[in-house]
Amino acid sequence: MTTSNLQKLVGIKLISEMLRCDSVRQKERGDWKVLVMDRLATRIISASCKMHDIMSEGITIVEDIMKRREPLGMLEAVYFIQPNEKSVNELINDFDKSHALIPKYKAAHVFFTEACNSELFTKLTQSKCAKYIKTLREVNIAFLPYERQAFTLDSPDTFYITYNSTPVPQRAAHLDVIAEQIATLCATLGEYPTIRYRADNEKVTEFAHAVQQKLNQYKADDATMGEGVDKAKSILLLLDRGFDAVSPLLHELTFQAMAHDLLKIENDVFEYEVQTPGADQKLNPVQKQKVLLDENDELWTELRHQHIAVVTQSITKKIKDFAVQKRVKESDRTERTTMKDLSLMIKKMPQYQKELNAYALHFNIAEQCMNAYNRDSGEKLCSVEQNLVMGVDAEGERIKDHMRNIVPLLLDTAITVEDKLRIIMLYILHKNGITDENLNKLLSHAFIPSEKKNIITNLQYLNLQILQDQSRHDNGVSPDLGRATALHVASELFIKSSGGGRRKNIPQLRKERSEPTYTNSRWTPYVKDILEDIIDDKLDSRQFPSIGGQKTLPIAPTLQSTREYPGWMQSRRGAIRSGPRIIVFILGGVAYNELRCAYEVTQSNLKKYEVFIGGDQILTPKQFLRNLEMKLRQDDEQLRLINTNFLLSSSKRLFHLTQPVGLKKITEKIEGNVITYEGEYIDDNEKNVLKLSGPEEVCIWCKLDRRSIHIQHTDVLVLRQYLRKDGTIIPPEISGLCPKQNEKLHTLIRHARMTGLISYPTVAVTKREPLLVDPTLRPEFERNNSYWEKYEVLQKRGHYLGP
């Protein structure tokens, strides 16, 4: 059975339910619309749709609702936004004359990512914007499809809000929003699953009941939700980050996790340097190129879950097989593979540049990973980490004194503070906590600043035992810690009590795995054990109780019509999935090695169960450490100033925005240990230079008087807004253009007609504006030599030629 692709499922739903609904779909050629989105909506669209998919549905411009935009009163707008206070206020302001002299768009088609609460709905319907709204719907897609089997809620503040020791006022409201987002995921997949959750955590228990309430609401609206063969077996597994604090801390050696840990990859965009082989570096300097690592890269999806040692071998073999398949000359082949050799092959075989560039890219990434691994003492770090979390060495011998291996790493000044923190945290998890005195000694020996101590101690808010105290010796260790560390050796599962005896910690023992592993890749994320227990129906119902789900027998599958999907969508759609699914959500973020487990379990059970996994964010070890600082992120929009004109770097589908009017200044404010970066608009010194002559009030609202928009005769979509159906130009009394811009408009339209971009008027307007000769009827030698007709040149010199 073919596995589903979450990105394609979301793309199909957005196109069919939003852009192809009766009120929005393009009814005739030239019926163009503007797509206005907030940050999450933009990321959803970009991850699931390509730009030509959007353009083919009549979308001509994509705008960010949070930025200042030019009014386009001749076009209708499709709003795809979250139903929150900020986005709804921006929507209302677009049509409120107290904020703008004229409405920004002709009408509004509003689509919310999820259900809108009654307060915001009332505010919207009672505003002046209401009379412009033609469509108001809920799409119920409030999650980001990160990969074909992975998702994220794009909510980096969830960790702080959920696990902060100080009660956060908006915690309940925030978790309610998260629950709604999870429910939209289930609705998109057509699942009404049974919820399994970790009973040892009160936050997860409360969260599970909130999700069940949301699912019941969706089920009430759509009775077919969850129907199908074996759909009653579908499971929604809710976990807190404390169930496994080891996996986000380890140095992982599979390709994707290793690259995100060791290399500078932001929003899945990898930047690398390219040097032309054999060229002079002064004449041809090194060029930087950016590439996106996502589902559209077939080689990346094939290699990302493989061990780094296998990756380098696999790429080398593929290059050799490619050379044989394409019958490359023996002289052009290379016995050993290096970046220099690949560059020479690309130079000698330009006809295969696309294929060889793909191999060169991933070989470059693997090479940089290994360079960073060797430079940062990766071999020593990985060996000590694996011995700590497994409790035994590579030969299976129990390690009695871990400090003998740890101390040299802590004293090594070449190892970064972050790596030392990871080692200390893994050691504390292994020991089920240490005293505060011993922790201070470790920090001192490792030359770690004292302000970093809270990163370690904040692990206790994940229900983990970090600092030993008298109550620990009296009451034993929390079962959460044993489950989090999940060590293999039974001797590690006992601790000494204050009376000198020994008592069992009662953790769940890990599965014994027979498949071969690399010495420094012995750890298996705990989520894989849980997934396999669910499939085998062995998951402990006391530790993971269940609520909700199907109470009746599964309903036989019914045939689904594909008439609502065009041909290009049917090919992307694939086979309709009717079997059970397991959806895993980790409150606090999901690590890359845990993403890998979802794919491995899906393949190992012969795709009987399909596994989707995600969290409020995708975690790298560095991100996990930043989260443990427990600092609330300031406004997300301010922290993402680098994305002003580049929306959603996690996809090849790039949407560009019109430039905001004015200049932005970034200011830095320091309050205690918190640094806040703010972007504010300031006066532009160029305004006086670019300002048109005449009274300011005449031109300030003129649609064409914007220094950030440089209109040319080729901008046909803009120019057509000022033309009637018969091809004549709308007078300035109606268009609202000032005399200067009206003159400019006439000139641009005249040039567009000369070059055949705009048709000529069907009737003669006046004797001074005669019907001009079609450029295609000019003599062959004059057809494309100028924008200007001969009579216009004479006319400019003072001669008038009649019709």
Q: What is the percent of the chain where pLDDT is above 70?
A: 71
Mean pLDDT of the 447-476 span: 80
pLDDT of residue 489: 29
Structure tokens at 57: 């549905």
- What integer best gives the mean pLDDT of the chain? 78
The predicted-structure confidence for 17-53, as pLDDT tens digits, reads as follows 999 998 998 887 778 999 999 999 999 999 999 888 8
What pLDDT is stored for residue 726 in this prediction? 74
Give me the DSSP letters along 232-269.
GG-EEEEEEGGG-SSTTTS---BHHHHHHHHS-EETTE
192 shares a domain with 219: yes
pLDDT in tens, 67-113: 988 888 899 999 999 999 999 999 999 998 776 678 899 999 999 99
Q: Is the pLDDT of residue 417 over 50?
A: yes
- What pLDDT, on a 0 to 100 scale, did the predictor assign at position 712? 81
Residues 398 and 353 in one domain: no
Residue 285 has a pLDDT of 66
171 and 134 together in one domain: no
CATH number at residue 231: 3.40.50.1910
pLDDT digits (tens, 9 = 90+) for 108-138: 999 999 999 999 999 999 998 999 999 999 9
CATH number of residue 134's parent domain: 3.40.50.2060
In the predicted model, what is the mean pLDDT of residues 789-796? 45
Judge if 413 and 468 occupy the same domain. Answer: yes
Whether 468 and 573 map to the same domain: the answer is no
Q: How many C-beta atoms lie closer than 10 Å to residue 711's C-beta? A: 15
Same domain as 176, residue 295: no
Contact 238, 210 (CB under 8 A): no
Q: Is residue 407 part of a domain?
A: yes
Residue ending a domain, choose from 138, 155, 177: 138
Neighbours of 634 (CB within 10 A): 15
C-alpha 603: how far from chain center:
25
Note whether 131 and 16 are same-domain residues: yes
CB proximity list for 207: less than 8 A, separation 6 or greater: 175, 178, 179, 197, 238, 587
Would 360 be classed as within a structural domain? yes
Do residues 125 and 25 share a domain?
yes
Name the residue with tokens 């999820």.
114
Residue ranges in 557-662 assigned as alpha helix (H):
567-573, 592-604, 621-628, 636-639
Q: Is residue 634 part of a domain?
A: no
Give one DSSP letter per residue of 326-338, joined into a string: TT--GGG--SS--
Residue 633 CA from chain centroid, whole number: 18
Say whether pLDDT at 577 is over 80. Answer: no
Of 447, 469, 504, the residue that ends a domain is: 504
Segment 678-683 mean pLDDT: 56
Which pLDDT value is given to residue 449?
93
> Is residue 581 in some structural domain?
yes
C-alpha 261/C-alpha 621 separation (Å) is 7
Same-domain pairing of 133 and 13: yes
Distance CA 462, CA 164 (A): 9
- Residue 766 scores a pLDDT above 70: no
Has residue 434 been placed in a domain?
Answer: yes
CATH number reported for the structural domain that contains residue 284 in this entry: 3.90.830.10
420 lies in some domain:
yes
- Let me know whether 13 and 132 are in one domain: yes
Identify the domain boundary among 325, 346, 375: 375
**Among 152-166, 270-284, 629-643, 660-674, which range has the highest average pLDDT?**
152-166
Among 350-354, 398-402, 799-803, the range scoring the smallest mean pLDDT is: 799-803
> How is 414-434 classified by DSSP, letter by letter?
TS-HHHHHHHHHHHHHHTT-B
Tell me: do 446 and 457 sit in the same domain. yes
* 637 belongs to a structural domain: no
Statement: residue 699 has pLDDT above 90: no
Q: How do strand 546-547 and strand 33-37 relate by DSSP bridges? A: unpaired
Q: Which residues pair with 254 in a beta bridge?
A: 307
Alpha helices in 431-556 (DSSP H): 436-445, 453-457, 470-475, 479-485, 526-535
In CATH, what number is assigned to the domain containing residue 792? Answer: 4.10.640.10
Domain count, the chain: 6
Residues 766 and 713 in one domain: yes
| Residue 436, domain extent | 378-504
Whether 759 maps to a domain, the answer reads yes
What distance in Å separates the CA atoms of residue 768 and residue 752, rounded to the nearest whole number? 18
The better pLDDT of the pair 674, 766 is held by: 674
